[in-house]
Amino acid sequence: MTTTFLLERMITPLGQMMLATDEQGRLRVIDWQDHEDNMRRLMRRQYPGTHIALRETSQASPAARAMQAYFQGDLAAIDGLEVATGGTDFQRTVWTALRTIPTGWTISYLDLATRIGRPSAVRAVGLANGANPISIVVPCHRVIGSKAALVGYGGGLQRKRWLLEHEKAIQPERLTVQADLPGV
C-alpha cells in the first residue's frame, strides 16, 4: 500500500524546513533539511506496512503559511493546525499532551509523564517525545530536563534554544545544557 504526502521546503531562521501534508491538508511531518534521513526513518516506523511517497510541491499549504507566520512572530498561528500521526497509542497520547503545553511555558519529562497518568514512565515519555514527527506544532521543544536543563531535541539543542527564546519560554541565563539524550 502506498500513501502520498505533499512535501514542501521552506526557509526559516533555523535553516531549511520540510513539512508534509496529506490529501486532507493535515500536517503529517515537520523536520529539518539536515535531518531528512532521520525523518524518513521515523515515517517508516510510524507507518509500518505502508510505503510513504513524498511528492514535492511548490504550492504553499495552509500549514506552510502558518509556520511562516509563526517564525515571523505570530506564535498562535500554528495552534489550530490539524495534524495526523501514525505511531503507537502511547506515542499519540504523549503527542496529544504536548499540544496542551501553552506557548511560553516549559515542563519537565516527569511533569509530562504525570500529565498522562504515567509518572513512572519518564523514559518512555522521553522516547515518544523524541519520535514526534511534527515538531514545533506538537511542541516537543517545550519539554526540558530537571532543573531547567536543555536536553533532548531531535533538531539539535541550538534549534531548541532558539524556539524557546522565540516563544519567550526561557531566560537564557537560567538554562543549563546537558548532553542531547532522549528520555532524560
pLDDT digits (tens, 9 = 90+) for 129-170: 999 999 999 999 999 988 778 887 888 899 999 999 999 986
149 strand-pairing partners: 145, 176
Which amino acid, one-letter code, is at 156? Answer: G
pLDDT at 149: 82
Query: pLDDT tens across 68-78, in order?
Result: 999 999 999 99
- Four-residue CA torsion sign, 62, 28, 100, 143: negative
Has residue 183 been placed in a domain? Answer: no
> Which of 63, 94, 140, 175 is the catalytic position?
140
Is 95 found in the same domain as 55? no
What is the count of structural domains for the chain? 2
Is 98 found in the same domain as 50? no
Q: Between residues 148 and 42, which one has the greater pLDDT?
A: 42
pLDDT at 178: 41
Has residue 40 been placed in a domain? Answer: yes
- How far apart CA 135 and CA 32 sit, in angstroms, is 10
Is 125 found in the same domain as 72? no
Whether the per-residue pLDDT at 97 is higher than 90: the answer is: yes
- Domain final residue, candidates 78, 101, 127: 78
- Domain final residue, candidates 78, 104, 121: 78
Average confidence (pLDDT) over 23-41: 93
In order of 22, 28, 151, the CA distances from 79 in angstroms are 18, 15, 24
47 an active-site residue? no
Average confidence (pLDDT) over 37-65: 92
Is residue 160 left, alpha or beta, with left meaning phi > 0 and alpha meaning psi from -120 to 50? Answer: alpha
**CATH number, residue 111:** 1.10.10.10
- How far apart CA 92 and CA 182 sit, in angstroms, is 17
81 phi/psi in degrees, rounded to 5: -65, 135
The conformation of residue 134, written as its DSSP 8-state character, comes to B
Whether the per-residue pLDDT at 25 is higher than 90: the answer is: yes
